[in-house]
């Protein structure tokens, strides 16, 4: 017999349906059975959880995570990162391929998905590689990757051999109705840069990456998408010019979506002034003007989703001079807190912020979850807005401790997380 659970007295916020009200949520097995103030007929709860003063929101969907396994378990494992995810209210992770762990064939896709299911924490979804080994030359068997369960394809941040290879990839992925995730980078303009090109890079003497390294690539991708009449998703925008190009494309009715990493909404190139390698990210932190444009882009829907772009590293990866360190932030545990901080700072309404990591994120990848709806699987988190805490690397659950947000104070975090109707995390610490 299916287990029945009642979550009572919660502030239920579901941007997809426009719901923001005090109420109860009833679960029958894995499924949401009812949302309201009274239980459905014949429903007797086996377990009742009082969520007074807490917000019940759909499980967070993270569109970009580097889980490192198989091959880089010294950085992180699916086990460690899946647990870190649910501790932070994230119920779905999209596994990005990288050269060392390249999902370019069916057996590897099957392995990753099987490992994810075995952990029984956050759902693990694979994003396959567009080209063999992410080398930008030979296209993968995208039909086979889709059959194996890949939710989308990408060439990550690796360069295509030429524009025609990109064009063929866009055409081929559309044949299989497979979402195409593209990182807009003109590698020739990027060169060996490691920070935003501007006054700060000149002052500290680090090689810069101009904003045009991104905006020219965005323009190229949008032009090809319009010509081929295919949908594309632009990953990790960082420049104000990119936001404007996407806004114009959407106004023309082109099927273009975009996301931004949460850390890009809080830090700028000023934060690299002291050569802190924890602020070494790609794309780089840009100017305050860019940050403001990114925030406005999320607020007005130009940018569809906020993701973590989680890249856990071992300690040694950040112990060299700035430009010799590996880029990336361990970001699972700050995705939801940073997103809610945008609301506290008045950057956007609560519903918009939550939508950017739930329903809007889900739509970019054609995921049915990301909302609270009767009949859907019960993926959600209880968020306690009164839980005041400070981020400590010693208490992070991710295997990677590389975050520039250590020491930051936050008001609110997840107290419980449910995946498929099962409580997979309960906060019992500090």
The domains found in the chain, sorted by start residue, are 4-56+376-388+409-426 (2.30.40.10), 58-364 (3.20.20.140)
**Dist CA 263 CA 61 (whole Å):** 16
Q: What is the mean pLDDT of the chain?
A: 96
pLDDT exceeds cutoff 60 at 272:
yes
Whether the pTM exceeds 0.85: the reply is: yes
Nearest to 34 by CA among 4, 2, 3: 4
- Cβ-contact 89, 120 below 8 angstroms: no
pLDDT exceeds cutoff 80 at 135:
yes
pLDDT exceeds cutoff 80 at 77:
yes
Instruction: Using alpha carbons only, give the angle 34, 2, 19 rounded to the nearest 5 degrees.
Output: 20
- Cβ-contact 210, 185 below 8 angstroms: no
Find the catalytic residue in 62, 104, 309, 367.
309
Cβ neighbours of 108 (radius 10 Å): 20
246 vs 186, 251, 410, CA distance in Å? Answer: 17, 9, 31
385: left (phi over 0), alpha (psi -120 to 50) or beta: alpha
pLDDT reported for residue 2: 83
Catalytic-residue membership of 309: yes
pLDDT reported for residue 32: 96
In percent, the amount of the chain with pLDDT more than 90 equals: 96
Identify the helix (H) or strand (E) that includes residue 201.
helix 199-204
In percent, the amount of the chain with pLDDT more than 70 equals: 99
pLDDT exceeds cutoff 80 at 429:
no
pLDDT reported for residue 211: 98
Region 263-282 average pLDDT: 96
pLDDT reported for residue 430: 52
pLDDT reported for residue 428: 87
pLDDT reported for residue 361: 98
pLDDT reported for residue 119: 87
Cβ neighbours of 330 (radius 10 Å): 27
Region 205-227 average pLDDT: 97
**Dist CA 114 CA 94 (whole Å):** 14
- Asked whether the CA dihedral 354, 355, 359, 361 is positive or negative, the reply is negative
pLDDT exceeds cutoff 70 at 1:
no
């Amino acid at each position: 017999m299916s287990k029945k659970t009642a979550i009572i007295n919660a502030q239920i916020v579901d941007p997809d349906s426009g719901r923001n009200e005090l109420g109860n949520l009833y679960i029958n097995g894995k499924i949401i059975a009812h949302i309201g103030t009274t239980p459905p007929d014949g429903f007797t709860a086996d377990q009742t959880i009082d969520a007074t003063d807490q917000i019940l929101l759909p499980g967070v969907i993270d569109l970009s995570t580097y889980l490192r396994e198989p091959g880089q378990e010294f950085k992180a494992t699916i086990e460690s990162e899946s647990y870190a995810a649910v501790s932070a209210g994230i119920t779905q992770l999209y596994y990005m391929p990288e050269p060392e762990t390249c999902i370019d064939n069916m057996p590897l896709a099957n392995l990753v998905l099987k490992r994810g299911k075995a952990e029984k924490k956050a759902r693990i979804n694979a994003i396959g590689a567009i080209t063999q080994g992410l080398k930008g030359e030979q296209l993968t068997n995208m039909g086979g990757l889709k059959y194996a369960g890949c939710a989308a394809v990408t060439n990550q941040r690796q360069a295509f051999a030429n524009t025609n290879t990109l064009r063929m990839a866009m055409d081929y992925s559309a044949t299989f109705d497979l979402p195409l995730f593209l990182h807009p980078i003109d590698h020739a303009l990027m060169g060996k840069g490691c920070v935003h090109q501007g006054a700060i890079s000149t002052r500290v003497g680090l090689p810069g990456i101009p904003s045009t390294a991104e905006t020219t690539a965005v323009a190229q991708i949008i032009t090809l998408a319009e010509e081929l009449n295919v949908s594309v998703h632009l990953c990790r925008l960082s420049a104000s010019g990119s936001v404007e190009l996407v806004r114009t494309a959407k106004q023309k009715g082109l099927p273009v979506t975009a996301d931004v990493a949460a850390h890009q909404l809080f830090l700028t190139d000023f934060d690299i002034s002291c050569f802190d390698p924890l602020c070494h990210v790609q794309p780089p932190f840009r100017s305050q003007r860019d940050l403001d444009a990114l925030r406005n882009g999320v607020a007005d829907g130009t940018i569809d989703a906020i993701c973590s772009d989680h890249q856990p590293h071992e300690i040694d990866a950040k112990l060299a001079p700035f430009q010799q360190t590996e880029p990336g932030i361990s970001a699972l545990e700050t995705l939801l807190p940073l997103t809610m901080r945008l609301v506290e700072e008045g950057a956007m309404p609560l519903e918009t912020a939550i939508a950017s990591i739930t329903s809007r994120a889900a739509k970019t990848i054609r995921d049915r979850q990301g909302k609270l709806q009767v009949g859907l699987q019960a993926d959600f988190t209880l968020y306690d807005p009164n839980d005041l805490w400070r981020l400590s690397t010693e208490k992070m659950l991710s295997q990677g401790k590389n975050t520039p947000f250590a020491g930051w104070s936050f008001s609110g975090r997840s107290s419980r997380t449910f995946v498929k109707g099962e409580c997979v995390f309960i906060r019992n610490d500090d």
